[in-house]
Structure 1
Amino acid sequence: MARPEAALYWRGWKPRCAGPSIQTEQVGDATFRFDIEWLNNSKYSITDREGNPIRLGPPLVVNVYEIDGNEFKYIWVNPDGTYGKDRLIKTRYTSYAQEIKAFRWGLNEQYLSPSTSPLPEAEREAFAAGEGHAFYPVDEDLRITARFVPDTSFTRLTMATSAADSVTYTVSGRAYFELGGGAQVLTLYRNSDADDPATGRLFLPFRDATSGTTTYGGGRYLNVEAPRAGTVILDFNQAYNPYCAYTEGYACPVPPAENDLTVPIAAGTKLPAG
């Protein structure tokens, strides 16, 4: 039986050399902010920022043990040898370039790590030898603020998959934007088994004029953060391929016809080599 795949939420993400970023941790009603700097492998340091309700002392070196979307769960060793663990919620990066660098490191690390990769060992080795995913140059014009119109009818859509079966999503709403000299619209979905109801993260499968040439013919996916003030950010520089672009045995949702764009989206992950 094919294994299902919907939106990818990375576990074991280790964006080495991604540079510092700003994180927050919510403790009850209090918000703490930290500078986070990746050191090596899964280790990074947490440094207090001015204005925290309570100062937590000198920088702390911790180990990431799971990352799910924007939630970082981490663990550290106390002086007495016991372990502590907690979580951080990412709020923003220090620059857009750093955000995209972290995205690319994360996507590559997901496929390279035996604990998170969809690839069997031999294919992981070939993936590593090929230096990971191929990406378009970053195009900030393809980070689009789109008008979001929610679907209040809770419409259900049965989406075909690459394994000749199907998966049912709820239509969350539609994003309206201008691109390629014309008006465009894409439908965003929610799958209660795959998407995070706490953050409102949405799933956007799509095809465009590059599909089947420089990008995967089966389309690409985009994870979209919760709508704010009637808008959503469609960052096509973070478009990624389904597992089915790389290996067999997965049931990858096929973008519905309503999400076929006639304009090219020359951003994000390219067609795998080979």
Structure 2
Amino acid sequence: MRYTIILLAVLVSFSSCAQKKRPIKGETEFQRKINSEYKDATTSPLKDKDRKRFESLDFFKFDSTYVVEAQFKRTPNEKAFKMKTTTDRLPVYVKYGELSFNLKGNTYKLNIYQNQGLIEKEGYENYLFLPFLDETNGLESYGGGRYIDARIPEGNTMIIDFNKAYNPYCAYNDRYSCPIVPRENYLQTSIEAGVKAFKKH
């Protein structure tokens, strides 16, 4: 009997610890990864009051329709330019290439960019930046558009997974300086994939 009581006490202590350390929410690896970053005080863009109450970002349901194979066209002779941001910071980018793809029976084009300062950092030598606007902005998604991280493709195609579209940090906290999506990257369709607008407390 005494051992049963001790065993029960141990089980209760284990379950209370497990309840405190709640599993990271998300139905895909991307969703769990970004939720984990936003919960962590060392990597989160959230304001302290929002982070303390944070459990999960709001996502569109994963939809394989929004995983598209795009034709990649390198544009090697582009001039570097200063991309506007939400502050007076002007990071230098170059248009690296063009992506053409079909989505729900229509053809679209996006420019993809390379940050000339970021490629100096180890691990970011082949990093590309894909910002876009679409018809969900200001409704289900953040008004300023969203971003997708990419890498230089080895061939002439690239997979664009709009389920991995995320908000600029400015959507959560105005102390950040975020690139403003160029108008030529406006998609005249609703991209119902990726991270939705953030509801601040």
Check conservation: 1:225, 1:233, Cα contact below 8 A: no
**Secondary structure at 1:111 match in 2:** helix
Q: Which residue of 2 aligns with 1:107?
A: 34
Question: RMSD over aligned Cα, in angstroms?
Answer: 1.9
Alignment of 1:22-61 (within 5 A): none
TM-score, normalization: structure 2? Answer: 0.80
TM-score, normalization: structure 1? Answer: 0.59
Check conservation: 1:224, 1:233, Cα contact below 8 A: no
How far apart in 1 are the matches of 2:79 and 2:108?
21
Count of residues paired in the alignment: 173
Larger fraction in helix? 2
Higher relative contact order (CA 8 A, sep 6+): 2
Q: CA deviation at 1:227?
A: 1.2
**Secondary structure at 1:147 match in 2:** strand
Check conservation: 1:222, 1:239, Cα contact below 8 A: yes
Q: Which residue of 1 aligns with 2:127?
A: 201
Q: CA deviation at 1:157?
A: 2.8
Alignment of 1:112-127 (within 5 A): 112-126=39-53
Q: Give unmatched runs, 5+ long, in structure 2.
A: 1-20
Q: Which of 142, 149, 159 lines up with 1:223 in the alignment?
A: 149
The answer to whether residue 184 in structure 2 is matched with residue 240 in structure 1 is no
Larger fraction in strand? 1
Alignment of 1:81-230 (within 5 A): 101-126=28-53, 128=54, 131-195=55-119, 196-198=123-125, 200-230=126-156
**Secondary structure at 1:202 match in 2:** strand
Q: CA deviation at 1:145?
A: 0.8
Q: Which residue of 1 aligns with 2:197?
A: 271
Q: Which is higher, the Rg of structure 1 or of structure 2?
A: 2
Q: Give unmatched runs, 5+ long, in structure 1.
A: 1-40, 42-97
**Secondary structure at 1:103 match in 2:** helix
% identical aligned pairs: 36
